[in-house]
Amino acid sequence: MASGFFAVLDDITALMDDVAVATKVATRKTAGILGDDLAVNAEKATGFLAERELPVLWAITKGSLVNKLIIVPVSLLLNAFFPVAITYILLLGGCYLAYEGAEKIIEYFFHKNGKDAEVPVARHQAPVVIDEKAKVKGAIMTDFILSVEIVIIALESVATENLTIQIITVATVALLATVGVYGLVALIVRSDDAGHKLINRSDKKGFLFKIGKVLVGALPVIIKILTVVGTLALLLVAGGIFVHNIHFIHDLFPALPATLKEFIVGLAVGLIVAGVVTLIQKLGFFKKRTPAV
């Protein structure tokens, strides 16, 4: 009996070791997309009134967890019984991400008037006019597409392992993606509140006061940077999906650096989709959505 018990423990220990190694490999392969995920979601989770930031971020986080609960089992089932469908799902997701990125660029260059008035220099100075529900919905949708990419990459990294290791590894990476990304997002969007607390406790002088001033002053800059990085990330991720899954595009312009090719492809696809969407809107099939600030 004792020997049987220890044999089970040995099996569990061996399984956990295999999972740890597989998770490390999968996490390393998804590091780039996780960085893109962070930039995109940090940009989408900012711009709200101070008292609404954490509730909004929690709503997006719960949506992200639901996304993972849907994506992980569906991806495992498709990988086992209908693997070709995964590629088409990725391509559809790539179209959506490219459209998101291209739409931001179009809005910036061609519909900029009056937009700056809605964004205060610091969120403690003036209210922000934002459709909260629409922005949360948009953030969860974008998270869904990015989560599909993360799960697929993690799954591909353990494709040769047995089903048990695949399930545990992919589930672990998916959970780490949500907890890690949105934990960092929470730190970013609440950094100026930490700065204000340091200022109030420092009697307006000393080292803590200087740190607080830096934190308060840095947030608007960080938000602007994340807006740019998030847009680039959307286009790069979308372009990467098409470059890695369509041989014609992969072989096109081999001398171009991979990152530049992915950006060009992502932007081109995004502009094409945006053009199609605009045409459909003009034909009156559905209304133009209000872009999230």
- Any idea where the domains of the chain sit in the sequence? 2-189+218-282
Q: What is the rounded distance in angstroms from the CA atom of residue 56 to the CA atom of residue 38?
A: 16
Each residue's pLDDT tens digit, 102-119 = 998 998 888 765 444 444
- CA 142 to each of CA 101, 157, 276, 279: distance values in angstroms, whole numbers, following the listed order: 11, 23, 20, 23
| Residue-level pLDDT at 8 | 57
- CA 153 to each of CA 32, 101, 194, 221: distance values in angstroms, whole numbers, following the listed order: 11, 21, 36, 32
Contacts 24+ apart (CB under 8 A), 242-251: 242/91, 242/94, 242/266, 242/269, 245/87, 245/90, 245/91, 246/91
* pTM of the model as a whole: 0.70
Range 120-137 average pLDDT: 60
| Residue-level pLDDT at 29 | 61
| Residue-level pLDDT at 30 | 64
At residue 264 the predicted structure's pLDDT band, cuts being 50, 70 and 90, is very high
- Give helix 163-189 / helix 2-29 axis angle, nearest 10°: 50
Q: Would the pLDDT of 41 be above 80?
A: no
By the 10 Å C-beta count (0-12 exposed, 13-18 middle, 19+ buried), 98 is classed as buried
- Residue-averaged pLDDT of the chain: 78
Q: What is the rounded distance in angstroms from the CA atom of residue 91 to the CA atom of residue 94?
A: 5
